[in-house]
Amino acid sequence: MDAGRKRHQMFAKRVCGVLILTVLLSLIPSVSSTETTSAFQEGVEYVKLRLYPQAVATFKSILSRHPTNVDALFQLANVYKLQDELELAIETFNQIFTIVAEIKNVPPSTTERIHGLTHLALAEIYCKQSQLDIAEQHAKEAVERSPADADTHYRLGYIYTHQAKFDAALAAFKRTLARNPDFPEVYEWLGLIALMRNEPQQAVAYYQTAIKKKPYVQSAYYNLAKAYRLLGDMPAAAEQLKYFHQMKAYYDRTYAIESALAEEPLNTTLRLELADIHLAHKHISAAVATYQALIRLHPHLTVGYDKLGRLYMNLNLSERAIPFFQKVLELNPNAVEAHVRLGWLYTQSKAFDKAESHLQTAIKQMPELSLAYHGLGEIYTQQGHIQKAIDVYQQLTKIEPNDDEARKALHTLERLKRSSQTTR
């Protein structure tokens, strides 16, 4: 199998994993015990971290105690699918139909939801196996059982596109967007259909929308370049090809690291490198997810909390950043930089007492830390404590005689003090 096909399969796993992990059926009352719920959540976390053997063991353990737990059975089948154990996934998904038929007093609406999601999952599997006729039947069942679910209509449109049934595909995608207008993959397929129908101007509009909604899919740039070439706009085509190569390099690098993490899921260095690459491409949600995975895998290491706190801080999301730096200090009370950052964050939110406390602690730990003095001087200035601010900046100029910013602040404060004394 060539590298391109492997990358395509990796992408398919990513997409399917995200789809399935958003599904919590919550179907069978008998499995609502705290112990089972905790184990189920642990299994889902394993799936998110791609720790598939642990996920399988967890869901099987739940099923050994609660054989009719459809949630656990559904997630177990999903893990098999993610591991490319497709026949085993099909067998497990089909067990759901049998179990639901045997359970008494399940509301019809719940039964329909179970059937709809299970048929949707089976449609995805048969698509991966290129058994499109079987996939089509399952997708139709999914649409019939869960007509309000955009994913069911999308899957049917996807299948119709691959069967070259373009009118049917367009109708299915129209229904998808009626339920979820922000479905980027739909616009990609609409663009492809437009290209295949020699409608390049329409294709341009669709691909531009797809890229706007999801800018990290390399194929959209390539096909947009193709549409521009068909229109004779070679500069625009060249520009999109440039973006394509950038996205391809980004995707190839992240794929390589994720492949390595599949073998070494606890490798902190690799996970930090992956987050750095996401940040370099401004893929913020992917970076956040990477840091969150690092925290789940290494809850006693400060680096994950620190990195996530800095990220939220750079995004001006102070309320989100503060708990992560607090966690850093919980794990390492001597983390001076976390004190300084919390000092700055609390100053921004006008929580001056907390800000002062953190900055004073930082100064005790590092008496010549000029940044902490700057922060403390700013706090006192904002509070109108002019003499306290002067004292801080005087101390700072002794520590850093060449700190022009401190000298300027000191000069301004002394002038303000004299002015206030003159007016008395």
Look up the CATH number of the domain holding residue 327: 1.25.40.10
Predicted local distance difference test score (pLDDT) of residue 385? 92
Q: Are residues 317 and 417 in the same domain?
A: yes
Q: Are residues 286 and 246 in the same domain?
A: no
Q: For the chain, which residues score pLDDT lower than 70?
A: 1-35, 421-424
The position carrying tokens 């709809």 is: 116
Q: Are residues 332 and 207 in the same domain?
A: no
The whole domain housing 198 covers 182-265
In a domain, 56, yes or no: no
Q: Are residues 321 and 250 in the same domain?
A: no
Q: How is 348-384 classified by DSSP, letter by letter? A: HTT-HHHHHHHHHHHHHH-TT-HHHHHHHHHHHHHHT
Q: Are residues 310 and 192 in the same domain?
A: no
Q: Are residues 259 and 288 in the same domain?
A: no
In a domain, 194, yes or no: yes
In a domain, 153, yes or no: no
The position carrying tokens 């996970």 is: 271
Q: Which helix (H) or strand (E) holds 410?
A: helix 404-422
* Degrees to nearest 5, angle at CA 49 with 221 and 118: 80
**Percent above pLDDT 90 for the chain:** 81
Q: Domain count of the chain?
A: 2
In a domain, 401, yes or no: yes
Predicted local distance difference test score (pLDDT) of residue 212? 96
Predicted local distance difference test score (pLDDT) of residue 109? 87
Predicted local distance difference test score (pLDDT) of residue 421? 67
Compute the distance between CA of residue 344 and CA of residue 333 in angstroms, rounded to an integer: 17
Compute the distance between CA of residue 399 and CA of residue 162 in angstroms, rounded to an integer: 70
Predicted local distance difference test score (pLDDT) of residue 33? 60
pLDDT tens sequence across 321-352: 999 999 999 999 999 999 999 999 999 999 99
Q: Are residues 320 and 259 in the same domain?
A: no
Q: Are residues 246 and 348 in the same domain?
A: no
Predicted local distance difference test score (pLDDT) of residue 110? 87
In a domain, 16, yes or no: no
Phi, psi of 366 (to 5 degrees): -135, 90
The position carrying tokens 């700072």 is: 396
CB 411 within 8 A of CB 380: no
